[in-house]
Amino acid sequence: MSVRVFAKGSFVASLLVLGLTLIGCGKGGPTLVPVTGSVTVDGKPANGATLIFHPTDKEMKLIPAATTDESGKFKLATSAQEGVPVGSYDVTVTWPDPSVQPTPAQKLQGLG
């Protein structure tokens, strides 16, 4: 019985997400421009670095973000769309220490 309730809940949640996605596909948002780049540390690619662009305009609700690939390159995206609204941003970069491996418990929690 609980599996059936879970399946119904998952179906309703999926429809809700689909509906919100379709609503977000309208032309009502700001124009997005492509932004690409690369991150290096001591001249070497920063594989797996996370970049978050925080708009300095507090009215802007979109938060562009990206994760670097093995060559340190990234392509910014806002929500499910590639690109960034034109504006000024403060940038936060986090990069996990590649020599530190997550524990099995952290992996189960999705932290590694």
- 9 found inside a domain: no
Check residue 84 and give its pLDDT: 95
- 11 found inside a domain: no
Model-level pTM greater than 0.85? no
Cα gap 50→55, rounded to integer Å: 16
DSSP state of 65: E
* pLDDT (average), residues 52-66: 94
- 106 found inside a domain: no
Q: How many domains does the chain have?
A: 1
- 73 found inside a domain: yes
What residues contact 21, with CB distance under 8 A and at least 6 apart?
Answer: 80
Arithmetic mean of pLDDT over the chain = 78
- 33 found inside a domain: yes
- 53 found inside a domain: yes
Which domain, by its residues, includes 73?
29-97
